[in-house]
Amino acid sequence: MTAVRELFSLHGKTALVTGGSRGLGLQMAMALGEQGATVAIASRRQAGLDEALATLAAQGIVAHAVVADLADPAAADALALAALDRLGHVDILVNNAGASWAAPAEDTPPEAWDRVMNLNVRGVFLLTQAIGRRSMIPRRAGSIINVASIAGLAGNPPGTMKTLAYNTSKGAIVNFTRTLAGEWGAYGINVNAIAPGFFPSKMTRGLLDEMGGRLAAEAPLGRLGGDDDLKGAVVLFASAAGRHITGQVLAIDGGVSAV
């Protein structure tokens, strides 16, 4: 029987986190690194990556950075190759990079729809496929953690967001997670998703400035997400503690989706 602390250990493991230079991605990269994983973070801008590497290094975390824009279909395979060059193999893939667009459905331009779908859905598919083919399937092991959203579990309450493309993309990620778990379980690969609620971030800044107090008050726990609130879930899904969990979507939202 394995000790609990060993089940949650990630020593000797490697992880690739997209959108890992700030916000939720950096929080998850830090959690994986704190548990012993060597981490590669990817983002579109080198400056942000440099800041994130300094933050991780200050915590004693071994990390690498790769510039990549997953809205470009050619970027996924290049990112996979770069990550494998730095890490050797990828044990844990966190698909966190994403974009949103706020506008009434009738006013959403097709190019905005495509921008959201290309990054939030196609980019996730292409990178997951590349890492699966090149590392996880041949090694018959791996953990894939997709960042969905409670916006993918339901529509938006009246008077709040108008984000049809974003909600649709995150709904797609929910079923991408379940379907891939069914296919890749045969290779020993776990596939799960985290569905965050409202966390302070660059993407949510405008909304939370306007109605953050209301959104916190409407959550059963009476608060928004914080700097440590995704750490436990990502470590659970990435580690041996979660080895019998696959195809699941865990809402981390202060209870919002329950009511």
Instruction: List the catalytic residues.
Output: 166
DSSP code, position 132 = I
Which of 73, 120, 75 is closest to 100 using CA atoms? 120
The residues facing 196 across adjacent strands are: 252
Contact status, residue 167 vs residue 152, Cβ threshold 8 Å:
yes
DSSP E strand boundaries for the chain: 14-18, 38-43, 63-67, 92-95, 142-147, 189-196, 249-252
Task: Give Cα 155 distance to the centre of its chain.
Answer: 20
Amino acid at 49: L
239 conformational bin, left if phi > 0, alpha if psi -120 to 50, beta if neither? beta
User: Would you call 186 exposed, middle or buried from its count of C-beta atoms within 10 A (0-12, 13-18, 19+)?
Assistant: exposed
Q: Calculate the alpha carbon distances from 82 to 41, 61, 68 in Å.
A: 11, 19, 10
